[in-house]
Chains A and B, each alone.
Chain A
């Protein structure tokens, strides 16, 4: 059974940093492209970042470029999202998800809530 378990969310002040983790199990993590998708409270879904299966390429939405870094450790089957210079508009539940080669998000974690507020 595919399992994705996010951790690392919490309350953080604007301008500070936070690092999210996503522990994967039940599938061969190193074979899959992965992504972070976020959802602001009572709002819709927004793609944040993608990393290719071997970590060789990464992609970001414009609003997080230069502030967020997606990475992975295939030996530990873990995905990360380093978030720097956080803003109030980054407040959301962050989901990690597997990303099919063609582009749909097949499996999702339960999410971790990030609240940016002073």
Chain B
């Protein structure tokens, strides 16, 4: 199984700040990576697929990058509505998720 290691597990940031979340795959996943946002009590919502493609309707302050085993999600100009837990997911070999990064406001 491909393991996905996310970091940090939690972070606190201020409004307007830029935030980076990392995801490390246990082997090369050839950009077969998605990012999701899950707000408390809600279901996950797709943000990014194919490592860097923005899902329709997702604000452009969200962006994804990376290749091989290392990927990242960047949130520019943090807004209050971005408070959530973020998960990465690989789909190169079946489907596995990272453990999540809980983002809070400072």
B43 contacts A109, CB within 8 Å? Answer: yes
Task: In the A-B complex, list the 9 residue pairs whose CB atoms are closest, starting with the nearest.
Answer: A103-B91, A47-B95, A104-B34, A108-B43, A45-B97, A104-B49, A44-B99, A44-B100, A106-B46
> In the complex, what distance in Å separates the CA atom of A82 from the CA atom of B97?
23
Contacts A44-B97, A44-B99, A47-B96 known; A104 to B43 CB distance under 8 Å? no
Name the residue of chain B whose CB is nearest to the CB of A105. B46
Number of B residues near A (Cβ < 8 Å) is 22
A-B contacts counted at CB < 8 A amount to 52
Cβ of B28 to closest chain A Cβ, rounded Å: 15
B42 contacts which chain A residues (CB < 8 A)? 110
Number of A residues near B (Cβ < 8 Å) is 19
Contacts A109-B43, A111-B43 known; A104 to B89 CB distance under 8 Å? yes
> In the complex, what distance in Å separates the CA atom of A110 from the CA atom of B44?
9
B89 contacts which chain A residues (CB < 8 A)? 45, 104-105
A111 contacts which chain B residues (CB < 8 A)? 43
Residues of chain B having any CB pair with chain A under 8 Å: 32, 34, 36, 42-46, 49-50, 55, 87, 89, 91-92, 94-100
A106 contacts B55, CB within 8 Å? Answer: yes
Contacts A95-B43, A108-B44, A108-B45 known; A102 to B97 CB distance under 8 Å? no
A44-B97, A106-B49, A109-B43 given. 11 additional CB < 8 A pairs? Answer: A47-B94, A47-B96, A95-B43, A102-B32, A104-B46, A104-B49, A104-B89, A105-B89, A107-B46, A108-B44, A110-B42
B87 contacts A45, CB within 8 Å? Answer: yes
A100 contacts which chain B residues (CB < 8 A)? 49
Cβ of B77 to closest chain A Cβ, rounded Å: 25
